[in-house]
Every structure is written in structure tokens, then in C-alpha cells.
Structure 1
Amino acid sequence: MPLETDLRNLSYCDSRFIAKRRRSREVMVGHVGIGGANPIRVQSMTTTNTQDVEATVTQTLALAEVGCEVVRITAPNKKAAEALGEISKQVRAAKCEVPLVADIHFLPAAAMEAAKHVEKVRINPGNYADKKKFAVKEYSDADYEAELDRLHEAFSPIVLRCKELGRAMRIGTNHGSLSDRIMNRYGDSPLGMVESAMEFIRIAESHGYRDICLSMKASNPKVMVEAYRLAVARMNQEGMNYPLHLGVTEAGDGEDARVKSAIGIGTLLYDGLGDTIRVSLTEDPVHEIPVAKDLAEKAMALWSKQEDLPLGETRSDSIDPFDFQKRPTRIIELGPDCNIGGECVPAVIVKATPPVSEFEKIISEVCTTQTKFKDAKIEGLQIEIKNSSDLEAFTKLHEALHSVVKCFVLELVDVDLSILETREWPDGLSGITLLQEVKKEDAFYAASLLQFCRSQGFNLAIDCSPEALRDEVGAQLKEMGTSNLILACSGVPDIYHPLGNYRALVEAAKDFLPDTPIWIRNSPGNTLAPKDYFSDRLLESSVLSGALLCDGIGEAVSIEAEPLLEKSTTLAYNILQGARSRISKTEFVACPSCGRTLFDLQEVTQRIRSRTNHLKGVTIAIMGCIVNGPGEMADADFGYVGGAPGKINLYVGKECVKYNVPAAEALDRLIDLIKEHGKWIEPE
């Protein structure tokens, strides 16, 4: 039934400022416990044809070898479900005890057969025993109850079979496959995803069956995060505590997919939610495991670090976690044609790692990066200034780059205000922001520095802890107003985790400097467990920046722990795109492949990407089959979908406009469609 409670009154975690793990019931999947006090479990899925027993067994063993703790295998029909018996037998004969999960969508008969052979059955509520016709119908309460009675009759047999055999179940909702019943009552929404699962959970509980995990997957990390938060809040209302399986579905491949997965999964883990995870990549599934393990290890380290911290008094939280809205801020001009705040997209700031005295090296790196990208350029260049000589070198750097970079951030390190005041600043300097770390005892200095910046036409970025802002710093600056002022927090990880820290900074700003733009600094101080390789910096930055951007926080983003300008620039733009905060290139929604797939997803995805990657603002879905219906195209402008062996169906939005196009012609026909709808531009 429709949810009557105001969503803002619901709670989904103990604290958004301290990472406390959510308490869930333990569900056993074979010998592997999920939830409770167990570690976060890492999962993946085979991509082979299930009826090819040898290939499926080989891939299952390979996944187990690299640390996959639960393996899912598709069972699209009864014959595939029967093959699970031989697969299980051969996996066990190889002395591998990894639990197996049958992935079921449409056929109750396949589910009933699969439950005989595996430790867990995944049911998709939108597809199971439901025909999706995208019919528009107004359901009366009596109509809706009749539908629920029909659902109870269809779903009960698999519940009773799992209960009898001691099998676990995942009730896994997908954003793209909500039933017509749910769509007509709740719309294509996170709340609809949650209510779809709740219908099935209530049926299971009516039979005394509670060996259930829950998932709320979407290709859009913001939708996925909101759905999981709502799911926990709704379970809390009804006295449920089922463990959560986290994942961003159809994330795609490469850096983009890892960024989107880290944003969605990491945001929830850092809120204390999540008991098992799968990182869905359009790649060999063994590549999913290292990413998932790294995310799990970071979250568990954070939970362990903060488990003994008292929650303390309830801190106000002005962010509505169930309705993403951009935090209102004043507009500040960073430099020519570079504003932040208001409705402006977040700016990208990149830190130069060579000392400013090596300005020729910095100039070369910046120019190389700027010429490589069309829509992903460095907008702000951050430079450490340690003395007067550095200021002299900066003048030469500014002279060379002022037409290439929109603004310059001078990070002051042991530079006294007197040095700045007595210096003769050359005419023509523009787009200057001074960055200063400020502690409680530096409040008067911060006010003097802001006054100096305003006299010169500069901006001031104050990097301080929430505690300092609540204390003397906020009080000192409150009377001066927020013009030319930016807030940042480079991290005090021994007190709060970086995400909680920034949230606390926003709450402190609300009381003193309410409309001040926030700069998200992915600095070494905001790193939980620094490791010296790019993939780790990618995960750290994606979780912190992505979680804040999803909450509507952040007017500028910088990746400061990555020494290569080109990589840090690209990563910043990929995070902004993954969080749907700034679109700079084509968005691809690509499924990770499974036994249902009707073409080589990895090869086809790369071919489509090579021809369309320049279409800024266009979203293309690449789906191996139509298992989740046209709903999977919910976030896409165009869809390329396996319709039959060697045949492709092409979509515009949710509508299939071309059926059974020969695979050899399908990419050209897709491009024709994009042209017909006025969204094609020729690549440079």
C-alpha cells in the first residue's frame, strides 16, 4: 500500500557523521554467512552459457580462486536450471565449496528446479510471475489487493521450496524492471523499487521464511543510493533487518564503471550499510573481484575504527537523504568564465605536483592536458606557495597560462599575510584564490586574510575542521559575510571519516556561513588507507566526492593525491559524470554479461564506444538481452539490445523502433537513429 509517512521523518542509519555498521540478521548461503557480524562478502556472476557445463564450472573455479565468496549463475529456463545440478557436482568435485546462486527472472518452474541444486535463489520481483506490458491502468484498492493475492499464489511455492531445502533467497529489485502494478501506483521511482521488494518479503514472512537478502540495483548511482536508504528505512518501520546486497547494475567498463560502482556502493558502505557486494563490469568477471575487495576492506577498516566512538548528541542534518537537491549557495567568480555556486556545474581544480619554481615543467604538463581534451579541461590550477620566491615564479606561470587556465589557487604554506600585503601584485592578474588551512586559534588571521583578498579582487578558500568553524572561525567570519569565500576540509581522519567530516562542515556552515560554496578536496588527509597506485586513489576519490555530490554538496572538486595532471583531470570529470553532476562525454549503460547474453558484450561495447564517445550528453544502453525489459532503457536516449542470435533490437528511450537488425549492420543503424533525432555531431 502507498507509503503515507513523510519520508523526511524516516531514518536509515545511526549517524551520517560517524560510520556505524547497520545491524542485520545473519543469512547463511551454504557455509558462508551474510550479514550479522560477518565481514562484507564479495560476489560475482558467470558470463558463460549455463548449459555449457564445462565452461561454467571453469569460470566458477576461476572466480573462487581470486577470492569470490559467492558465485551467481543465470537460469533463464528449466534446462539451464537442470544444468546447475551437474555444475554444482563438478565444482564440489574440484574441492571448491563456494556457494552457488541461481539467477531467476521470469519462470517459476526454473526457480523450483534451481532450488534443488544451489545454495541460494535470486528472484527479481518485477519479472517473477509478472507480465510487463507497460500498460497504463488505474488500480483501485480492490484491484491492487487482487494482484497481491495472485502474486501470493505464484510466489509461495518457491518460498516453501527454499524453506524446505534450507536455501537462502535474494529478492533483487532492478530499477529497469518494475512491474506494471508498481509503475502505475508508485511510478518509476526508488520508492517503487522498495515497495516491489516489500510485497515479496511480506509473502515470504507469511510462511515463516526469513533467509532473505535484499538488493535495490540501478545504473544511476543516485537512484541506487536513494533506493537502498529507503529500503532500510522501510524495513525499520516494519521491524525487519535483512542484510543488503549492494551493486550498481549496468555500470559499463573501464574507469567509468569503477567510478560509478565506487560512488554507489561506497556511499552506502560509508553510511554503515551493506553486507555483500558485487561490482558489475562489462569485462571478464575476475576483474570485478579486486575492486569489490578493496571497497569492502576500506569500509570494514572504517567501521572498525569508528565502532567505539559515541554517537553523542543528535547532530542536525539539513540534507534530505531521500530527495537529492543541490545545496543552495551564492555564486562566486573563480576566474574568467568560471563561476561556482548557484546553478553552476562544479568546477575541476587540479594540483600541480612539481614546485612552482619548475614552472616550465608545469606549463608543459598543463598545455599537454588541455590540448588532449575538448570538454574535460583543467579549470583551476592549484600551486603550493612557500615563500616570496614562489610568488615571483607564480607571476611567470600566470603570464604563460592565464589564457589556458581559468583560475589559479595559491596554497599558502607558512606564508605570512605581511608577505602578501607588502608584495606588489602585477596588473593583469586574474582568477586568483588563496587557500589557507585555518585552525580555531587562527580565526582573526582568517578574517584579515579575507579582508585582504577582497581588497585585491581575490577569493579565499578556508580549509578548516567543522569544530573550528563552529567555534572562533565561524564567529569571526559571520559578520563579514560570504562573498569571495569558499570552504573546504582536507581531513582529520582520526576524528571522523572524510565523508562525515564534510557533512559536519556543511552543518557548521549553515549556522555561520550558510550559502558558502564547498570545495571537495580529495587530498592525502582525506584518504583512509593510502596506497600508492591509481586504482586506489580512484576508489577513495570516487567515494568521497561521489557521496557528497549525490547529497547535493560540492561546488568544486580537486584530485590532489594523484601526481599526474592528465589522470587527475580525467578522474575528476569521470566522478562528476558518474554522480550526474556534470556531463562531459557520452554516458554508456552496459550490462556485465551473463549466460543470457546474445553477443560479445565486451567487444561490441568497445566498438560502439569508439564511434560514439564524442557525443556529450547522450546516453546509450548496450544490453546483451532484454531480460529486464525496456525499463533498462529508462536512463538512456538510445538502446542497442540483443533480440535473437545475430539480431539486434534498437531503442529510442523505452520504445523499440527497429527489430531484428542484422548484427553486422546494427551499429550503423544506431548511428542513423542518433542522427535522425538530432543528437549526432561529427567527431573532430
Structure 2
Amino acid sequence: MSYCVSRFQTIRRRTVEVRAGVVGMGGENPIRIQSMTTSDTQDVAATVRQCVALAGAGCEIIRVTAPNVPAAKCLRDIRAQFSAAGFADIPLVADIHFLPAAAMEAIEHVEKVRVNPGNYADKKKFAVKDYTDADYNQELQRIHDAFTPLVLRAKTLGRSLRIGTNHGSLSDRIMNRYGDTPLGMVESALEFLRIARGHSFDQIVLSMKASNPKVMIQAYRLLVERMQQEDMHYPLHLGVTEAGDGEDGRIKGAIGIGSLLQDGLGDTIRVSLTEDSIHEIPVARALAAKAISLWQNPKSNPIGCASDSIDPFHFARRDIVPLALAPAAEISVEQPPRVIARAASVSALSEVIEKLATLADTPAEAVLVPVANVAELRALPPTGKTLVLEIPAAVSADELEANLSAPHIILRTFTAQDTAALRAFAEVATKRNLALAIATTAADFAALAPALAALTPAPRIILTLAEEPRAVAPAHPTSGYRQLAEALRTLAPSPFARAPIWIRNTAATALASSGNPGSPDFLSRLLDASILTGSLLCDGIGDIVSVETENDPVRATTLAYNILQGAGARISKTEFVACPSCGRTLFDLQTTTQRIREKTGHLKGVKLAIMGCIVNGPGEMADADFGYVGGAPGKINLYVGKTCVQYNIPQAEADNRLIDLIKQHGKWTDPA
């Protein structure tokens, strides 16, 4: 793969070292943890207090917004007071949008400056214009003239810069030439990179942030490929912007950041949450710990498949043979991934199904239950639910056929030595019209495939990754599923090449967290499930999902649906795009988001954007149905898509006006 050394083993991408003060990023440095203050920057005391709190929580780099020159001037006192408090070694970063003058002031006081290439010397008004090459080159010269003074001053002072591209703030110029695409994001950053390179300045970090993890992942991959083509090796700052709050925000962040870290990309990270920024730090530290536990020696030989059919820059769902999971739940490319819940035992099955009945909008379409022996097979209670029976090696195919009373799905682990057993179970499945879920590895499946291919008629099969001892398991669980998908592809034109793949999140798929594999805390399990399931779904792999690490089947099923929604694979509730607070925010984002969620959270399939200001608002909400954006202190602008339809509404009226707008467009339903 051009964007990473291996998609089957985590080998860290090599970069130049970039320093923000005494803190190094990239090179041999660990993954650095970042966050951002949310106070008004001109309130120096409040900003310093937040910096101290973030530093105490383990934040290694702290960003402070500088929306104008007066705010940028305050960075001098903030830096001085933060250093006096004992944190001289923790660098501060000025966040700049729109105003080169603010950047030129900020570079005098802090160790690093972030600029957004979409609005630093450009504009975004969704204007449509055909640029001739001459027009475009003239615009590039204007950008060169605007950005060069900052580059030269940073070089003189020994500062570093971040070129921080946002999907939501691509300029009209970029949009008209490249469209609203990952390629547009990459080209926007490369224009600024080439200017810096022209001045022999390499102290640059790059980011490609989007609220959609799929777009964000593709943009970072494409950026690395394009940089490698131009012999550029700058560190990457990873983040999913406007991810939201609570479980949903953590899931989106884990999908985007975790997927790239597994591929060896990423040198500093920020988990953006619509919460107090101090809550971002534990999530970021856990993600970094999981990535570091996977890092391999870059001189070692990459493991994995001889080929990889996934196009990492364009999403396409893997084609599969349709298969009925339940009477009303087909597995196919036309349908979203299906969800399976797990019962711990046959004796717990009835209680689990009773609990699952409370989930009207997020149903478990089948229930997995381990069957210990033939006696338990006979004792299965009637449930009216499709069951996936996990059969141990001690139960033979003949015993299964003799004691199975209803048409369920059979799950069994098969190794390369189980050819005869696979043939026998496949024959039973065909005879009894069952689907057979085969748990195996890519290497074992290659040995088993001829036995399947010889069967007539072909059995209906599902593939999933077998649990293996940690010492012999793949480099990471995502690698195992990628290898399995590749092993299936090589069977074409056999129908088995298009067998559905079931992503199982189990204790065996857990990554190390804080040095402890299989960490028992819920955050660690949430991150594991999000990274594994989300990264595969964003590559188009995965037709069934189960989260089997939770004792509560309702919680596990809800988590599975939330991950599917975070990956854009299945919408089961209102989608919220909400930015994290910062000094530019014009209202209290946390309470506003929670309040609007309470009023609109029942609108399944509706996408709402809640933005504190206009920096990324109109762009990030371009694919949202409705937007709620801070236009001025105490004033809200309401959007339909990317069009502002109501300006400067008093915030006290804005919630009801938003609901009225949703009703006018026929997307409102009364809550149950």
C-alpha cells in the first residue's frame, strides 16, 4: 500500500521531527496528546486556569484560539503566566482562522501556530466559478504572498506550524476545482506545504479533519500518498472534528483516529468532544496506548497477504451473496449491516431475549448462544428468534442434525485440520436449510476452501475470524479480518468469494490499554469495538456485527448500533454533528447540544449540526439536514443544508424555531 508500509501489521510511518518548544512530534517521539481551551482568550486568567487543568490531566500540547489580533496579543500574558505556574515545557498553539495579522502576532508569543488553508487567505461563500489556469495561478500567488511572512517569521523564531485542513472549510477555489472531496482537502494543504518548502522550512505538522470518519480516513491516506510522491515526510495530527459528545463522540473519534493509528499513521492526536476539554485526555491517552502496543520494528518484514483489493481512497462496500438472517432481515449489499446479540448460556437465553424486546428501534436480528453439549442442544427453549448456535468441537455434525429442532444458524470454529468436519457440517446445513458460520483464519480457510467448493449444492456460509491465542494471533484483529476478506476474494468465481463477513468484538479482539491487554473498563472496550468494527466498515468490509464484551445485552446491542451509525453504515437515531467548544464559540455548546438532543433525539435519520460559530459551520453542515449556528453573541442562525434561512434569532427562541423548520420540511414526528 502506498499510504502505509502494511495494512496487516502496524509499522509506524517515518517522519521528520517537528518541535513545538521542547516537545517533539514525529520521528522517534511517542504519540503526543493535545486538547484546546474553551474560554474567551482575552480572559487571560480563565484561559491559564484551563491550561493548568489540561496539563494536570496529561495534555502535552495545548491549543488556544486567537480569532483576532487583540486575542493574539493576550497570548503573551497567557504564555508567561502558564510558564510561571510551572508549565514552561508544555507548548501552546495559537489557532488561527481568517486573519494573517492575528497569526503574525501570535507567532511572537507561542511555540506553534495552526492555520486553516481553507480560510487563511481564501474565502468560502459557496460561490460557483470556473477558474482558468491563469486565474488559479493568480490565486496561488496571492496565497504565497499571504503565507510567506508567517513561514519566514516561524523559521526565524524557531517556531512550528500546523497546516490544519477542515473538510467543512474548503475554499470556493478548491471546491470549484476539486469538489467537496478528500482530494480537495489534500490539495488545499499541499499548496501551503509547497510554499513552506520553497523557503526551506520543514517544521510543519498536517491535519485532515472531518466530522465524517470515512472522509477523514480517506483524506489522511491520500495526503500521505501524495506527500510521498513529492518526498515529503511531515508528522500528522489526527482528529475527527465536530464528533459530538458522550458515547457517540468517543466512537467517532476512535473510528477515525484508531483506524489510522493501526496503519502506522499519526504522531499527535486530539479527540474533539462537545464536553469540557479535560474529558478528551483519557480517551486520547487510551487510543495512543493501544497504538503503541501494536507498533512493530519498521525494519521487520511486513506480514499479511500478497495482495489487498481494497481501494483505500474510495469507499465501496464489498459485494456479497444475499442471505436471510431472519424472516425480516436479509444480509445483502442493499441492506445495512445486521446486529447479533449474545447470551452467555442456554439458561440465560430467555431472559436475554426478554431484555432485547425493549429495543424497538435497535433490534438484535439474531441471538448468539454457546451450546456446551448435546443435552443443551436438546434443551433449547422456543424463542421465536433466530439463534446462532455456537457448537463446540465435542458435538459432531450427526449429533447436531439429530437434536436440532428448529432452523437456526450454526457457528463452529474450523482449523486447517478440520476438513472432514467442515464437510459434514456443511452437508447438514444444506440438508436442513441452515446457514453455516465458519470461524477460521485466512490461512486455515485456504486449506478448507477446496472441501467447500466440492460440495453440491453449495452451502450458505458466513465467515468470521476465529479466536486465537494472543501469541499466534494476527498483528491486530483488523488485520485478521482484512486477511480473511482477501482469502475469500481469491476464490472467485466461486460464490464463496462473496460470502458475508461477521465482525465479532470479543475479549480476544481487545487491544492493550495502558499496558494491560483486555482492560476491563468500558471506555477501553468501547474503543476496541469502535476501532475494529469502524475501520472495517469504512473499508467496505462487514455485513454482521456483534459486541460480545458486555454482560448487558441491551448495552451491547446499543453500542453496536452506535458504532454502525458512527461509521455511517446504519442510521438508527438522530445524527448530531457538534463542534467542541473553543474561545470562538458564541453560546454554551454543551448545554445547547444536550437540550436540542432531548427535543429532537427521536428523529431517526435526521442529521442536525450544532456549531458554535461560522468557521466550519456552513461547510461541516453541508450534508446535514438542518444547522444551528452561532451568528453573534446570543444570536443563532438556522440553516437548511448549507443555506442560511433565518438570521440572528434570539437564542431563547432558536430551539422552537428549529423545530418549526424541521416541521416545515416534513421531517418531524412527535416523540413516542
The normalised TM-score by structure 1 is 0.94
- Is residue 473 of structure 1 aligned with residue 448 of structure 2? yes
- Is residue 531 of structure 1 aligned with residue 519 of structure 2? yes
User: What CA distance in whole angstroms lies between the structure 1 residues aligned with 2:403 and 2:215?
Assistant: 52
CA contact (8 A) 1:168 1:211 kept: yes
Shift in Å, 1:477: 1.3
For the residue of structure 1 that corresponds to 2:427, the secondary structure is helix
Find the counterpart in structure 2 of residue 7 from structure 1: none
Choose which of 632, 639, 642 in structure 1 pairs with 2:630. 642
Choose which of 612, 620, 629 in structure 1 pairs with 2:600. 612
User: What CA distance in whole angstroms lies between the structure 1 residues aligned with 2:282 and 2:477?
Assistant: 23
Q: How does 1:410-449 map to 2 (within 5 A)?
A: 410-418=389-397, 420-421=399-400, 423-426=402-405, 429-430=406-407, 432-449=408-425
Shift in Å, 1:566: 1.2
Amino acid at match of 2:23: V
- Residues 165-197 of structure 1 deviation map (CA, whole Å, 9 limit, x = unaligned): 111000000000001110000000000000000
For the residue of structure 1 that corresponds to 2:498, the secondary structure is coil
Find the counterpart in structure 2 of residue 352 from structure 1: 343
Shift in Å, 1:313: 8.2
Find the counterpart in structure 1 of residue 361 from structure 2: 375
For the residue of structure 2 that corresponds to 1:95, the secondary structure is helix
Find the counterpart in structure 1 of residue 503 from structure 2: 520
Find the counterpart in structure 1 of residue 434 from structure 2: 458
Amino acid at match of 1:41: R
CA contact (8 A) 2:294 2:475 kept: no
CA contact (8 A) 1:132 1:629 kept: no
- Residues 80-110 of structure 1 deviation map (CA, whole Å, 9 limit, x = unaligned): 0000000000000011121000000110010
Amino acid at match of 1:332: L
CA contact (8 A) 1:490 1:522 kept: no
- Residues 402-426 of structure 1 deviation map (CA, whole Å, 9 limit, x = unaligned): 1xx3x21001123422553562443
CA contact (8 A) 1:491 1:501 kept: no
Name stretches of at least 5 consecutive residues in structure 1 with no aligned partner.
Answer: 1-9
Find the counterpart in structure 1 of residue 387 from structure 2: 408
For the residue of structure 2 that corresponds to 1:310, the secondary structure is coil
Amino acid at match of 1:139: Y
Q: How does 1:10-89 map to 2 (within 5 A)?
A: 11-89=2-80
Choose which of 159, 166, 171 in structure 2 pairs with 1:167. 159
Which range is displaced more, 180-189 or 489-498?
A: 489-498
CA contact (8 A) 2:305 2:486 kept: no
CA contact (8 A) 2:123 2:171 kept: yes
User: What CA distance in whole angstroms lies between the structure 2 residues aligned with 1:511 and 1:30?
Assistant: 51
Q: How does 1:215-614 map to 2 (within 5 A)?
A: 215-304=207-296, 309-311=300-302, 315-353=306-344, 355-356=345-346, 358-359=347-348, 362-371=349-358, 373-394=359-380, 396=381, 399=382, 401-402=383-384, 405=385, 407-418=386-397, 420-421=399-400, 423-426=402-405, 429-430=406-407, 432-470=408-446, 472-480=447-455, 483-492=459-468, 493=470, 494=472, 495-512=474-491, 513-528=496-511, 529-614=517-602
Shift in Å, 1:503: 0.5
User: What CA distance in whole angstroms lies between the structure 1 residues aligned with 2:199 and 2:222?
Assistant: 25
User: What CA distance in whole angstroms lies between the structure 1 residues aligned with 2:36 and 2:539?
Assistant: 31
Amino acid at match of 1:235: M
Shift in Å, 1:374: 2.5
Shift in Å, 1:629: 4.9
Shift in Å, 1:65: 0.4
Amino acid at match of 1:496: A
User: What CA distance in whole angstroms lies between the structure 2 residues aligned with 1:516 and 1:131?
Assistant: 48
| Gap change, CA 1:293 and 1:652, over 3 Å in 2 | same
CA contact (8 A) 2:374 2:400 kept: no
CA contact (8 A) 1:490 1:526 kept: no
Shift in Å, 1:569: 0.4
Which range is displaced more, 111-120 or 473-482?
A: 473-482
Find the counterpart in structure 1 of residue 514 from structure 2: none
User: What CA distance in whole angstroms lies between the structure 2 residues aligned with 1:486 and 1:235?
Assistant: 39
User: What CA distance in whole angstroms lies between the structure 1 residues aligned with 2:404 and 2:418?
Assistant: 25
Amino acid at match of 1:317: D
CA contact (8 A) 2:377 2:403 kept: no
| Gap change, CA 1:270 and 1:541, over 3 Å in 2 | same
Amino acid at match of 2:393: D
User: What CA distance in whole angstroms lies between the structure 2 residues aligned with 1:599 and 1:473?
Assistant: 60
User: What CA distance in whole angstroms lies between the structure 1 residues aligned with 2:65 and 2:458?
Assistant: 56
Name stretches of at least 5 consecutive residues in structure 2 with no aligned partner.
Answer: 512-516
User: What CA distance in whole angstroms lies between the structure 2 residues aligned with 1:291 and 1:421?
Assistant: 45
| Gap change, CA 1:53 and 1:654, over 3 Å in 2 | same
CA contact (8 A) 1:251 1:589 kept: yes
User: What CA distance in whole angstroms lies between the structure 1 residues aligned with 2:467 and 2:284?
Assistant: 25
User: What CA distance in whole angstroms lies between the structure 2 residues aligned with 1:387 and 1:629?
Assistant: 58
Shift in Å, 1:235: 0.2
Amino acid at match of 1:525: A
Amino acid at match of 2:482: R
- Residues 250-278 of structure 1 deviation map (CA, whole Å, 9 limit, x = unaligned): 00000001011000000000011000000
User: What CA distance in whole angstroms lies between the structure 1 residues aligned with 2:591 and 2:188?
Assistant: 35
For the residue of structure 1 that corresponds to 2:357, the secondary structure is helix
Shift in Å, 1:483: 4.2
User: What CA distance in whole angstroms lies between the structure 2 residues aligned with 1:408 and 1:312?
Assistant: 36
User: What CA distance in whole angstroms lies between the structure 2 residues aligned with 1:415 and 1:459?
Assistant: 20
| Gap change, CA 1:591 and 1:612, over 3 Å in 2 | same
Find the counterpart in structure 2 of residue 682 from structure 1: 670
- Residues 36-67 of structure 1 deviation map (CA, whole Å, 9 limit, x = unaligned): 11110010000000001111000000000010
For the residue of structure 2 that corresponds to 1:59, the secondary structure is helix
User: What CA distance in whole angstroms lies between the structure 2 residues aligned with 1:30 and 1:195?
Assistant: 29
User: What CA distance in whole angstroms lies between the structure 1 residues aligned with 2:12 and 2:640?
Assistant: 42
For the residue of structure 1 that corresponds to 2:211, the secondary structure is coil
CA contact (8 A) 1:121 1:170 kept: yes
Shift in Å, 1:476: 1.5
Amino acid at match of 2:336: V
CA contact (8 A) 2:401 2:428 kept: no
Shift in Å, 1:368: 2.5
Amino acid at match of 2:311: D
Amino acid at match of 1:435: L
CA contact (8 A) 2:409 2:434 kept: yes
For the residue of structure 1 that corresponds to 2:19, the secondary structure is strand
CA contact (8 A) 1:482 1:515 kept: no
* CA RMSD in angstroms, aligned pairs only: 1.4
Amino acid at match of 1:453: A
Choose which of 110, 129, 146 in structure 1 pairs with 2:102. 110
| Gap change, CA 1:307 and 1:235, over 3 Å in 2 | closer
- Residues 536-593 of structure 1 deviation map (CA, whole Å, 9 limit, x = unaligned): 1100010000000000000100111222111110110001001111100000000001
Amino acid at match of 2:480: N
Shift in Å, 1:479: 2.9
Shift in Å, 1:323: 0.6
User: What CA distance in whole angstroms lies between the structure 2 residues aligned with 1:200 and 1:337?
Assistant: 52
The normalised TM-score by structure 2 is 0.96
Greater than 6 Å deviation, 4+ residue runs: none
CA contact (8 A) 1:281 1:592 kept: yes
